[in-house]
Amino acid sequence: MKPASKSAPGRDVRRLALKGLVAVVLALVGLAAFGFVRHRESRRRAAVGSSDGALCEAGISAARRAQMSPVDTATDAPPALNNTPAPGPTPQGMIWVPGGEFWMGSSEPSFGDARPWHKTYVDGFWMDKTEVTNAEFAGFVKATGYVTVAERKPSAEDFPTAPPENLVAGSVVFTPPDHPVALNDHFQWWNYVKGANWRHPEGPLSSIKGKENHPVVHIAYEDALAYCKWAGKRLPTEAEYEFAERGGLDRKPYAWGDEFRPDGKFMANTFQGHFPDKNTGEDGYVTTAPVASFPPNGYGLYDLSGNVWEWTSDWYRPDYYKTLADKEELARNPQGPNDSFDPGEPGVAKKVHRGGSFLCTDQYCSRYMVGGRGKGEPDTGTNHLGFRCVKDVSARTGSKG
């Protein structure tokens, strides 16, 4: 399904972005790589005017329109998870997720768009045990010749107002300042870098050599769809993602339970130190970690929290949960709203991201907590955004496009 807006969201977004871009000269050994900063005044205004965590790395803003609706775990009925075994042989690299009824949402005060808690049902499905890795994505590219969005030169037809010199293939890369900065302006640490793509995560001089087992990044929505289709799979819905991430637990703040660091142990690749200028990497990683470097959750799935954000097939709206909760009947296999709305950037259609990343910190964006919702434009990848696929028991409607 497409958003209500008649225009193609990706083109509009990139057109807007290119309108406001600012050339940035990056001194890279022997190369004058430059990029542009995507400047959107609406986003900046939203950031400055917001007080509760404002913008997260990929432009995730804490929308606060949904009303607070805490769940009393003592009185509300616990979820009724299915206990059906896998209906057939488990595809290689995947895990059976039984599905069932669960509470979806979050009580985290800054996650306004993850309320109210609402009961949701999803059918069982198989899910990739880990995020799709560089090696797996390379296999797809080798077999199909696929070229990702970040590797394609933006065309003058798509961006008629952009200066020709700005029409360069690239992607958005986290480039931290060397000093503390105010957290209300993410242009201080995000730059559009020429030549950044899945093969060169930090820019043209970086590579994925030795990172074959890291999650692939700089993946746009259509790139993820293309991979999943090739693999005979699809992207998870937001509800499937959350069901899987909870690992059978009921309304816990983390995929593994109640504490961020049980017995002092790091359970996910997140950000330690002072955001964004000083990442101490206390958990062992300052960027991506090899998949499955941290313990699996209750279903045996890895890195659904932290490491890289992951695409889901749902459009983003901050009021979607309220819409579902207001209905009398249980939401069964919800597929997301029919259109997208982000109060921070009205008119820009976005898909839901889930899971948080190696850049998530409680100082700024703690969305490695279960239920935390991210969002992003379908044509925009970053070096902390990847994906994984799911597979239906039988052919059901595939991912929405």
Rounded Cα distance, 369 and 219, in Å = 23
Looking at beta carbons only, is 275 or 358 nearer to Ca ion? 358
Give the shortest CB-164-to-Ca ion separation in angstroms: 39
Looking at beta carbons only, is 106 or 270 nearer to Ca ion? 270
Stretch that binds Ca ion, among 66-74, 79-87, 137-145, 279-287 (CB under 5 A): 279-287
**Termini Cα distance of the chain:** 6
Give the shortest CB-355-to-Ca ion separation in angstroms: 14
Q: Which of 151, 242, 283, 342 binds Ca ion (CB under 5 A)?
A: 283
AA identity, residue 358: F
Comparing CA positions, the residue from 123, 120, 130 lying closest to residue 95 is 130
Q: Which of 96, 137, 254, 358 binds Ca ion (CB under 5 A)?
A: 358
Total interface residues for Ca ion by CB under 5 A = 4
Looking at beta carbons only, is 206 or 357 nearer to Ca ion? 357
Stretch that binds Ca ion, among 139-147, 176-184, 228-236, 280-288 (CB under 5 A): 280-288
Give the shortest CB-294-to-Ca ion separation in angstroms: 10
Look at residue 61 and give its three-state secondary structure: strand
Cα–chain center distance at 61? 13
- The CB-based long-range contact list for 290-296 (8 Å cut-off, 24+ gap) reads 290/211, 290/213, 290/214, 291/130, 291/131, 291/133, 291/213, 291/214, 291/215, 292/129, 292/130, 293/269, 294/266, 294/267, 294/268, 294/269, 295/256, 295/267, 296/129
Q: Which residues pair with 34 in a beta bridge?
A: 25
Q: Which of 117, 125, 285, 294 binds Ca ion (CB under 5 A)?
A: 285
Stretch that binds Ca ion, among 5-13, 66-74, 161-169, 283-291 (CB under 5 A): 283-291
Name the helix (H) or strand (E) containing 204. Answer: none
Give the shortest CB-286-to-Ca ion separation in angstroms: 6
Find tokens 């080798």 and name the residue. Answer: 142
Residue 303 binding Ca ion, by CB under 5 A: no
Give the shortest CB-266-to-Ca ion separation in angstroms: 8
Stretch that binds Ca ion, among 190-198, 200-208, 295-303, 353-361 (CB under 5 A): 353-361
Give the shortest CB-281-to-Ca ion separation in angstroms: 6
Find tokens 């991201």 and name the residue. Answer: 353
Residue 227 binding Ca ion, by CB under 5 A: no
Q: Give the residue closest to Ca ion by C-beta.
A: 285
Looking at beta carbons only, is 194 or 384 nearer to Ca ion? 384
SS (H, E, C) 213-262: CCECCCCCHHHHHHHHHHCCCECCCHHHHHHHHHCCCCCCCECCECCCCH
List the structure tokens of 399.
């991912």
Stretch that binds Ca ion, among 48-56, 138-146, 161-169, 357-365 (CB under 5 A): 357-365
- Binding residues for Ca ion, rule: CB under 5 A, are 269, 283, 285, 358
